[in-house]
Amino acid sequence: MFKKILIANRGEIVCRVIRACRDMNIKTVAVYSEADKDALHVRMADEAYFIGAPPSNESYLRWEKIIEAAKKSGAEAIHPGYGFLSENSEFVREVTKEGITFIGPSPEAMEAMGGKISARKIAIKAGVPVVPGTTEPLKSAEDALETAKEFGFPVMLKASAGGGGKGMRLVENEHDLKNAFEAAQSEALASFGDGSVYIEKAIVRPRHIEIQIFSDTHGNFVHLGERECSIQRRHQKVVEECPSPINDDYLRQEMGECAIKVARAVDYVGAGTVEFLVSDLDKSFYFLEMNTRLQVEHPVTELVTGIDLVREQILVANGAELSFLQKDIAWNNHAIECRVYAEDPENNFLPAPGKITRLCIPQGNGVRDDGGVYKGAEVSIYYDPMISKLAVHGRTRAEAIDRLRRALREYEVGGIKTTLPFFREIVEDEEFIAGKLDTGFIARFNERKQVKKIDEATRDLALIASALAFADKQKSVSNKSQNAKLSVSRWVIAGRAAGHRNWF
């Protein structure tokens, strides 16, 4: 077994991997930029190496500095976490060249799944349902129009080298197609250096459900069930849960087997996630893409299956067979995770970096908080402003929601704005509570919020109007109008102060 592992990342995922290593008596090595010199992940690791200036392309993306730290420290393996170099096949090759083990899949598997068109082709060949669409880049706007008419509108234009929604365009009708196609091409070229765009039939109001798979170097493949990830803001998942509210054993098995077919097709090794779009109408599902890394939201799968995915990654990277067979995997409880960010929900979720002056992390039954900060820590402007992932679990979804409410009440962060108030509203939302989730959830949630605000304002205005009418009536009846107006306005103010907005 490895004696020492370097984690080529920062923040909460490094702290999380360190905990798994500690459980396995493996020493840990952290790397850090100038901005992270006092970070929690540096404090927690057994050793830490400075790798450069704060910008990621001068530190966490500089693989020669990371490999140098691994060699200096004598780390036998590197865990990439997620993001940064976690899906960079060149980095894997450089690490392997140095005789260091990369904890993750082969560079070939990464490359096969990195291109969205190549991934679609692999899924089709593996007999897995994909969204109806092309498997070659569109040649021109005319080609796009011809193809769109074949599938029928609405259609989705996607960048072949894209992912995570970048360069994607929903096109409702043929009049909008030409401009959308040209915009998608130029955005794809600017973002990925590859302007090729393909087209799919748009699945309307789909759920975004992903399957966790795991495999080893001995040909064993299992799935660990699904995660519901439909609550997203700008293609960033914000709330994830396991199981999906629309889960049934048949759907889980069908999707799980399809996910394994895709993984087998690229000789995948380790933890991977296969994403699907699922129609609420008939639970039909379509392969979307495969992520060749451990996902941010992996804790909800761990809480429901009881499996430590990072521990399993390390064992498999060290040549062990999977610790479990498919028949050994059971799904108990219901887990929900919120990604708590230093962003200001009142200011369009703009990043809100700064110093954390107070920190109260929720604890107790059914609560897990994977965090990367402490009281006094600085949330940096250079990186993803995640504070922690708050995950809760209960025997049922209702119990998990109650626990999430309690944990969100307990959770306090002082000195910076966070998305905690946003989650406190989400858990009271009727569609969320009913499990009516799809990729349009946030848009509808915001609409409901606007409507509530207008209703409240209207109600206040109605009250004031009736109060003034009452005061006027009083005035015509007696000359105590001044006291009457004062008493009414005092009544209104007292009511508002006591929060009794429904007094009027």
Which residues are identified as catalytic? 293
User: x-or-dash pattern for ligand MV4, window 275-294, by CB under 6 A?
Assistant: --x----------xx-----
- Candidate residues 164, 219, 319, 414; the one interacting with ligand MV4 per rule CB under 6 A: 164
How far, CA to CA in Å, does 345 sit from each of 11, 418, 424, 435? 22, 7, 12, 23
Q: Which residue has the tokens 């992996």?
A: 298
Q: What is the DSSP letter of 504?
A: -
CB closer to ligand MV4 out of 127 and 165: 165
Residues contacting 425, CB < 8 A, separation 6+:
445, 449
Stretch near ligand MV4 under the rule CB under 6 A, chosen from 163-171, 260-268, 382-390, 470-478: 163-171
Rounded Cα distance, 407 and 448, in Å: 24
CB closer to ligand MV4 out of 235 and 355: 235
Q: By CB under 6 A, tell whether 203 contacts ligand MV4.
A: yes
Q: By CB under 6 A, tell whether 167 contacts ligand MV4.
A: no
C-alpha neighbours within 13 Å on the C-beta side of residue 151: 24
Report H helices in 219-297. Answer: 249-265
Q: By CB under 6 A, tell whether 206 contacts ligand MV4.
A: yes
Shortest approach of ligand MV4 to residue 432 CB, angstroms?
16
Burial call 242-271: b when 16+ CB within 10 Å, e when fewer:
bbbebbeeebbeebbebbbbbbebbebbbb
CB closer to ligand MV4 out of 216 and 275: 275
Stretch near ligand MV4 under the rule CB under 6 A, chosen from 49-57, 201-209, 297-305, 337-345: 201-209
Q: By CB under 6 A, tell whether 131 contacts ligand MV4.
A: yes
- Candidate residues 30, 138, 144, 156; the one interacting with ligand MV4 per rule CB under 6 A: 156
Stretch near ligand MV4 under the rule CB under 6 A, chosen from 107-115, 121-129, 202-210, 341-349: 202-210
- Candidate residues 12, 76, 200, 240; the one interacting with ligand MV4 per rule CB under 6 A: 200
Q: By CB under 6 A, tell whether 202 contacts ligand MV4.
A: yes
Shortest approach of ligand MV4 to residue 226 CB, angstroms?
15
CB closer to ligand MV4 out of 174 and 328: 174
Burial call 385-414: b when 16+ CB within 10 Å, e when fewer:
bbbbbbbbbbeebeebbebbebbbeebebe
Give the per-residue SS3 of 337-403.
Answer: EEEEECEEHHHCCEECCEECCEEECCCCCCEEEEECCCCCCEECCCCCCEEEEEEEEECCHHHHHHH
- Candidate residues 101, 134, 160, 439; the one interacting with ligand MV4 per rule CB under 6 A: 439
Q: Bridge-partner residues for 273, per DSSP?
A: 212, 291
Rounded Cα distance, 155 and 165, in Å: 14
Total residues contacting ligand MV4 by CB under 6 A comes to 17
Taking each helix axis from N to C end, the angle separating 249-265 and 116-125, rounded to the nearest 10 degrees, works out to: 110
CB closer to ligand MV4 out of 212 and 232: 232
- Contacts to ligand MV4 from residues 224-243, by CB under 6 A: 232, 235
Query: Strand, helix or coil at 479?
Result: coil
- Candidate residues 74, 127, 152, 165; the one interacting with ligand MV4 per rule CB under 6 A: 165
Query: Which residue type is seen at 88?
Result: N
- Candidate residues 41, 120, 208, 223; the one interacting with ligand MV4 per rule CB under 6 A: 208
Q: What is the DSSP letter of 478?
A: -
Q: In the complex, which residues of this chain contact ligand MV4 (CB under 6 A)?
A: 131, 156, 164-165, 168, 200-203, 206, 208, 232, 235, 277, 288-289, 439
